[in-house]
Amino acid sequence: MGVTWWWITGGVILHLTAYTAHQSPIMAGSTKSLAKGSPAPGPVPDGLIRAYLMRFCPFAQRAQLVLIAREINYEVVYVNTLNKPDWFFEKSPFGLVPAIETSEGQLIYESLIVCDYLDEVSPGKKLTPEDPFQKAQQRMLLEHFFKVENLVFKILGALKNNADTSALKAEFLKKLILFDEIVSKLNTPYVGGSSVSMADYMMWPIFERFSIFGVKDCLEKTPHLHQWYQLMLQDPAVKATFTKPEVQEGFFKLYLQGIPEAVDYGI
Protein backbone atom coordinates (compact mmCIF):
# COMPACT_ATOMS: atom_id res chain seq x y z
CA MET A 1 0.00 0.00 0.00
CA GLY A 2 1.10 3.57 -0.51
CA VAL A 3 1.73 6.12 2.18
CA THR A 4 -1.21 8.46 2.45
CA TRP A 5 -1.02 11.95 3.87
CA TRP A 6 -3.37 14.83 4.24
CA TRP A 7 -3.32 18.51 4.41
CA ILE A 8 -5.98 21.06 5.03
CA THR A 9 -6.60 23.88 2.59
CA GLY A 10 -9.54 26.20 2.83
CA GLY A 11 -11.15 23.94 5.38
CA VAL A 12 -11.12 20.94 3.04
CA ILE A 13 -8.96 17.95 3.66
CA LEU A 14 -7.03 16.89 0.59
CA HIS A 15 -5.58 13.49 0.62
CA LEU A 16 -3.01 12.18 -1.73
CA THR A 17 -1.40 8.84 -1.89
CA ALA A 18 2.25 8.31 -2.70
CA TYR A 19 3.42 5.13 -4.33
CA THR A 20 6.74 3.54 -4.83
CA ALA A 21 7.70 1.07 -7.48
CA HIS A 22 5.32 -1.81 -8.17
CA GLN A 23 2.54 -0.36 -6.08
CA SER A 24 -0.72 0.30 -7.78
CA PRO A 25 -2.79 3.35 -6.97
CA ILE A 26 -5.70 1.82 -8.84
CA MET A 27 -5.55 -1.36 -6.80
CA ALA A 28 -4.87 0.62 -3.65
CA GLY A 29 -7.05 3.52 -4.63
CA SER A 30 -9.88 4.42 -2.34
CA THR A 31 -9.26 8.14 -2.87
CA LYS A 32 -12.17 10.06 -4.34
CA SER A 33 -11.51 12.48 -7.16
CA LEU A 34 -11.36 16.26 -6.76
CA ALA A 35 -14.29 18.02 -8.43
CA LYS A 36 -15.35 21.59 -9.14
CA GLY A 37 -15.12 23.69 -6.01
CA SER A 38 -12.29 21.67 -4.48
CA PRO A 39 -9.19 23.60 -3.48
CA ALA A 40 -6.03 23.14 -5.51
CA PRO A 41 -3.49 20.71 -4.09
CA GLY A 42 -0.31 22.26 -2.67
CA PRO A 43 3.24 21.95 -3.95
CA VAL A 44 4.58 18.55 -4.95
CA PRO A 45 6.86 17.11 -2.25
CA ASP A 46 10.55 16.83 -3.13
CA GLY A 47 11.52 13.72 -5.02
CA LEU A 48 8.01 12.87 -6.14
CA ILE A 49 6.14 13.24 -9.39
CA ARG A 50 2.46 14.04 -9.06
CA ALA A 51 0.15 12.50 -11.61
CA TYR A 52 -3.29 13.99 -12.27
CA LEU A 53 -5.39 11.05 -13.33
CA MET A 54 -8.92 9.78 -13.70
CA ARG A 55 -9.40 6.18 -12.63
CA PHE A 56 -11.13 5.02 -15.84
CA CYS A 57 -9.38 7.15 -18.46
CA PRO A 58 -7.32 5.11 -20.96
CA PHE A 59 -4.94 8.04 -21.54
CA ALA A 60 -4.34 8.42 -17.82
CA GLN A 61 -3.65 4.69 -17.65
CA ARG A 62 -0.88 5.18 -20.22
CA ALA A 63 0.94 7.49 -17.78
CA GLN A 64 0.38 5.12 -14.90
CA LEU A 65 1.75 2.15 -16.85
CA VAL A 66 4.95 4.11 -17.46
CA LEU A 67 5.15 5.37 -13.88
CA ILE A 68 4.96 1.77 -12.65
CA ALA A 69 7.11 0.15 -15.35
CA ARG A 70 9.85 2.75 -14.84
CA GLU A 71 9.65 2.43 -11.04
CA ILE A 72 9.05 6.13 -10.46
CA ASN A 73 8.06 7.44 -7.03
CA TYR A 74 4.82 9.28 -7.53
CA GLU A 75 1.62 10.47 -5.94
CA VAL A 76 -1.80 10.61 -7.56
CA VAL A 77 -4.40 13.34 -7.58
CA TYR A 78 -7.60 11.97 -9.05
CA VAL A 79 -9.52 14.61 -10.96
CA ASN A 80 -13.22 14.48 -11.70
CA THR A 81 -13.00 15.00 -15.44
CA LEU A 82 -16.81 15.14 -15.66
CA ASN A 83 -16.95 18.07 -13.22
CA LYS A 84 -13.51 19.66 -13.35
CA PRO A 85 -12.11 21.93 -10.66
CA ASP A 86 -11.20 25.39 -12.03
CA TRP A 87 -7.61 25.04 -10.84
CA PHE A 88 -7.14 21.96 -13.01
CA PHE A 89 -6.89 24.13 -16.12
CA GLU A 90 -3.77 25.71 -14.62
CA LYS A 91 -2.24 22.24 -14.38
CA SER A 92 -3.48 21.00 -17.74
CA PRO A 93 -4.61 23.78 -20.12
CA PHE A 94 -6.81 21.51 -22.23
CA GLY A 95 -8.42 20.19 -19.04
CA LEU A 96 -7.35 16.65 -19.83
CA VAL A 97 -5.73 13.83 -17.90
CA PRO A 98 -3.04 12.71 -17.61
CA ALA A 99 -0.95 15.66 -16.52
CA ILE A 100 2.07 15.49 -14.28
CA GLU A 101 3.74 18.02 -12.00
CA THR A 102 7.25 17.93 -10.61
CA SER A 103 8.44 19.30 -7.28
CA GLU A 104 9.97 22.20 -9.27
CA GLY A 105 6.47 23.04 -10.49
CA GLN A 106 7.03 21.86 -14.04
CA LEU A 107 3.80 20.79 -15.71
CA ILE A 108 3.51 18.30 -18.54
CA TYR A 109 0.29 17.24 -20.26
CA GLU A 110 -0.86 15.11 -23.23
CA SER A 111 -0.40 11.40 -22.65
CA LEU A 112 2.31 10.66 -25.22
CA ILE A 113 4.36 13.68 -24.15
CA VAL A 114 3.94 12.79 -20.48
CA CYS A 115 5.01 9.19 -21.09
CA ASP A 116 8.06 10.13 -23.16
CA TYR A 117 9.11 12.65 -20.52
CA LEU A 118 8.78 10.10 -17.71
CA ASP A 119 10.76 7.55 -19.70
CA GLU A 120 13.53 10.06 -20.49
CA VAL A 121 14.06 11.42 -16.99
CA SER A 122 14.13 8.03 -15.28
CA PRO A 123 17.33 6.05 -14.82
CA GLY A 124 17.56 2.48 -16.10
CA LYS A 125 16.47 0.79 -19.31
CA LYS A 126 14.21 3.00 -21.38
CA LEU A 127 10.87 1.85 -22.79
CA THR A 128 11.61 3.77 -26.00
CA PRO A 129 14.43 2.45 -28.19
CA GLU A 130 17.52 4.67 -28.36
CA ASP A 131 18.05 3.87 -32.04
CA PRO A 132 16.41 6.63 -34.14
CA PHE A 133 15.00 4.23 -36.74
CA GLN A 134 13.59 1.83 -34.14
CA LYS A 135 12.10 4.80 -32.34
CA ALA A 136 10.54 5.99 -35.61
CA GLN A 137 9.20 2.47 -36.23
CA GLN A 138 7.41 2.47 -32.87
CA ARG A 139 5.88 5.86 -33.60
CA MET A 140 4.79 4.78 -37.09
CA LEU A 141 3.21 1.66 -35.63
CA LEU A 142 1.28 3.89 -33.24
CA GLU A 143 0.04 5.95 -36.21
CA HIS A 144 -1.46 2.74 -37.61
CA PHE A 145 -2.89 1.90 -34.19
CA PHE A 146 -4.52 5.36 -33.97
CA LYS A 147 -6.77 4.36 -36.89
CA VAL A 148 -8.12 1.62 -34.60
CA GLU A 149 -8.28 3.95 -31.60
CA ASN A 150 -10.16 6.61 -33.57
CA LEU A 151 -12.86 4.10 -34.42
CA VAL A 152 -13.22 3.14 -30.77
CA PHE A 153 -13.95 6.78 -30.03
CA LYS A 154 -16.39 6.98 -32.92
CA ILE A 155 -18.23 4.01 -31.37
CA LEU A 156 -18.15 5.86 -28.05
CA GLY A 157 -19.70 8.93 -29.70
CA ALA A 158 -22.46 6.77 -31.22
CA LEU A 159 -23.15 5.09 -27.86
CA LYS A 160 -23.43 8.50 -26.20
CA ASN A 161 -26.02 9.48 -28.80
CA ASN A 162 -27.88 6.17 -28.54
CA ALA A 163 -27.11 5.65 -32.22
CA ASP A 164 -26.68 2.33 -34.00
CA THR A 165 -23.07 1.16 -33.84
CA SER A 166 -23.19 -1.85 -36.17
CA ALA A 167 -21.64 -0.10 -39.19
CA LEU A 168 -18.91 1.40 -37.02
CA LYS A 169 -18.18 -1.98 -35.46
CA ALA A 170 -17.87 -3.57 -38.89
CA GLU A 171 -15.43 -0.79 -39.87
CA PHE A 172 -13.59 -1.32 -36.61
CA LEU A 173 -13.13 -5.02 -37.35
CA LYS A 174 -11.71 -4.21 -40.78
CA LYS A 175 -9.19 -1.78 -39.30
CA LEU A 176 -8.27 -4.22 -36.56
CA ILE A 177 -7.62 -6.98 -39.11
CA LEU A 178 -5.40 -4.59 -41.11
CA PHE A 179 -3.55 -3.69 -37.93
CA ASP A 180 -3.20 -7.37 -37.05
CA GLU A 181 -1.46 -7.92 -40.41
CA ILE A 182 0.98 -5.12 -39.65
CA VAL A 183 1.69 -6.54 -36.20
CA SER A 184 2.14 -10.05 -37.64
CA LYS A 185 4.97 -8.77 -39.85
CA LEU A 186 6.92 -7.60 -36.81
CA ASN A 187 7.50 -11.24 -35.84
CA THR A 188 8.13 -10.30 -32.22
CA PRO A 189 6.10 -11.11 -29.09
CA TYR A 190 5.80 -7.44 -28.13
CA VAL A 191 5.37 -4.77 -30.77
CA GLY A 192 8.79 -3.31 -30.02
CA GLY A 193 10.71 -6.58 -29.82
CA SER A 194 11.34 -9.28 -27.25
CA SER A 195 10.39 -7.17 -24.24
CA VAL A 196 7.63 -4.71 -23.47
CA SER A 197 8.18 -1.20 -24.81
CA MET A 198 6.55 2.21 -25.00
CA ALA A 199 4.29 1.36 -27.97
CA ASP A 200 2.87 -1.69 -26.15
CA TYR A 201 1.91 0.47 -23.19
CA MET A 202 0.45 3.24 -25.36
CA MET A 203 -1.84 0.72 -27.06
CA TRP A 204 -2.84 -1.39 -24.09
CA PRO A 205 -5.43 0.84 -22.35
CA ILE A 206 -7.61 0.87 -25.47
CA PHE A 207 -7.47 -2.93 -25.74
CA GLU A 208 -8.35 -3.28 -22.04
CA ARG A 209 -11.58 -1.39 -22.82
CA PHE A 210 -12.65 -3.42 -25.86
CA SER A 211 -15.33 -5.18 -23.80
CA ILE A 212 -17.17 -1.98 -22.82
CA PHE A 213 -17.30 -0.94 -26.47
CA GLY A 214 -18.68 -4.34 -27.45
CA VAL A 215 -15.73 -5.18 -29.71
CA LYS A 216 -13.82 -7.68 -27.57
CA ASP A 217 -14.94 -10.58 -29.79
CA CYS A 218 -13.07 -8.97 -32.71
CA LEU A 219 -9.85 -10.26 -31.17
CA GLU A 220 -10.92 -13.77 -32.20
CA LYS A 221 -10.38 -12.68 -35.80
CA THR A 222 -6.99 -11.09 -35.15
CA PRO A 223 -4.74 -13.93 -33.96
CA HIS A 224 -1.54 -11.91 -33.55
CA LEU A 225 -3.19 -9.19 -31.53
CA HIS A 226 -4.99 -11.85 -29.52
CA GLN A 227 -1.66 -13.45 -28.64
CA TRP A 228 -0.20 -10.04 -27.78
CA TYR A 229 -3.25 -9.29 -25.61
CA GLN A 230 -2.73 -12.50 -23.61
CA LEU A 231 0.95 -11.70 -23.19
CA MET A 232 0.25 -8.15 -22.04
CA LEU A 233 -2.18 -9.43 -19.39
CA GLN A 234 0.87 -10.97 -17.68
CA ASP A 235 2.83 -7.71 -17.59
CA PRO A 236 3.32 -6.42 -14.02
CA ALA A 237 2.38 -2.81 -14.88
CA VAL A 238 -0.70 -3.98 -16.77
CA LYS A 239 -1.69 -6.19 -13.83
CA ALA A 240 -1.19 -3.30 -11.42
CA THR A 241 -3.41 -0.92 -13.39
CA PHE A 242 -5.95 -3.44 -14.66
CA THR A 243 -9.60 -2.67 -14.02
CA LYS A 244 -11.99 -5.62 -14.10
CA PRO A 245 -14.48 -5.53 -16.98
CA GLU A 246 -17.48 -5.46 -14.62
CA VAL A 247 -16.04 -2.36 -12.89
CA GLN A 248 -15.31 -0.72 -16.24
CA GLU A 249 -18.88 -1.47 -17.26
CA GLY A 250 -20.26 -0.03 -14.02
CA PHE A 251 -18.36 3.19 -14.68
CA PHE A 252 -19.31 3.25 -18.34
CA LYS A 253 -23.05 3.00 -17.73
CA LEU A 254 -22.96 6.05 -15.46
CA TYR A 255 -20.54 7.85 -17.79
CA LEU A 256 -22.89 7.45 -20.76
CA GLN A 257 -25.60 9.07 -18.65
CA GLY A 258 -23.27 12.00 -17.93
CA ILE A 259 -23.26 11.35 -14.16
CA PRO A 260 -20.13 12.98 -12.67
CA GLU A 261 -19.93 10.40 -9.87
CA ALA A 262 -19.09 7.83 -12.57
CA VAL A 263 -15.39 8.62 -12.13
CA ASP A 264 -15.48 7.34 -8.54
CA TYR A 265 -17.44 4.19 -9.38
CA GLY A 266 -16.66 1.26 -7.11
CA ILE A 267 -15.06 3.12 -4.21
**Is residue 115 annotated as part of the catalytic site, yes or no?**
no
Helix (H/G/I), strand (E/B), else coil: 18? strand
Smallest separation, CB 214 to a second copy (Å): 28
Q: DSSP characters for 199-253?
A: HHHHHHHHHHTTTTTT-GGGGGG-HHHHHHHHHHTT-HHHHHH---HHHHHHHHH
What span, in angstroms and rounded, lies between the C-alpha atoms of 88 and 171? 36
Number of residues that bind a second copy (CB under 8 A): 20
Catalytic residue selected from 57, 141, 168, 199: 57
Smallest separation, CB 112 to a second copy (Å): 8
Considering the complex, state which of residue 37 and residue 43 has its C-beta at the smaller distance from a second copy: 43
Considering the complex, state which of residue 122 and residue 227 has its C-beta at the smaller distance from a second copy: 122
| Binding-site string for a second copy from residue 102 to residue 131, where x marks contact by CB under 8 A and - marks none | ----x-xxx--xx-xx--xx----------
Considering the complex, state which of residue 78 and residue 179 has its C-beta at the smaller distance from a second copy: 179
Burial of 246 (0-12, 13-18, 19+ CB in 10 A): exposed
Tell me the CB-side half-sphere exposure of residue 247, using CA atoms within 13 A: 15
Q: Is 207 in the site for a second copy (CB under 8 A)?
A: no
- Amino acid identity, residue 27? M
Q: Is 46 in the site for a second copy (CB under 8 A)?
A: no
Q: Which stretch binds a second copy (CB under 8 A): 65-73, 138-146, 161-169, 251-259?
A: 138-146
Q: Are 259 and 83 in contact (CB under 8 A)?
A: no
Instruction: Give the DSSP letter of residue 79.
Output: B
**Contacts to a second copy by CB under 8 A:** 93-94, 106, 108-110, 113-114, 116-117, 120-121, 132-133, 135-136, 139-140, 143-144
Q: Which residues are catalytic?
A: 57
